[in-house]
Amino acid sequence: MTGSKTRASCKSLYQSQGILTLTSQYILSLMKFILQNQERYLFNNEVHNINTRNKLKLHQLMSNLTLYQKGVYYMSIKIFNKLPDHITDSIENKRSFISRINQYLVNKCLYSLAEFKNN
């Protein structure tokens, strides 16, 4: 289909075709979940009135339960807070937010979920 060799790496092919990897699709679906359920999430500036550099990050509740930590709510907050500020600033505009995330993930298709979990 693309004329590449059978043992060639798919990273550059995915990037050139604009295809999201499985991990990138998961991240995109988590960000869509945030957009659909914005009333469930709190930003740090809503929790306290102190003007900090993390005021536009989502407030993450502490939990020791592994089942909760592997859930959609907890993981979406964790990944959202890892995204660059120029993407997270546009959360009010849904179309712009999704298109920026999609473009970012296509260009950075090297992500693995382990990077987000460990940091």
Strand partners, 58: 43
Q: What is the pTM of this model?
A: 0.78
Interval 68-109: pLDDT, tens: 889 999 999 999 999 988 888 888 889 999 999 998 988 875
Strand partners, 46: none
Which of 102, 109, 104 lies closest to 14 in space, CA to CA? 109
The answer to whether the beta carbons of residues 98 and 31 sit under 8 Å apart is: yes
Q: Locate the domains of the chain by residue range.
A: 23-118
* Other beta carbons less than 10 A from residue 91's beta carbon: 20
The two structure tokens encoding residue 6 = 């059978």
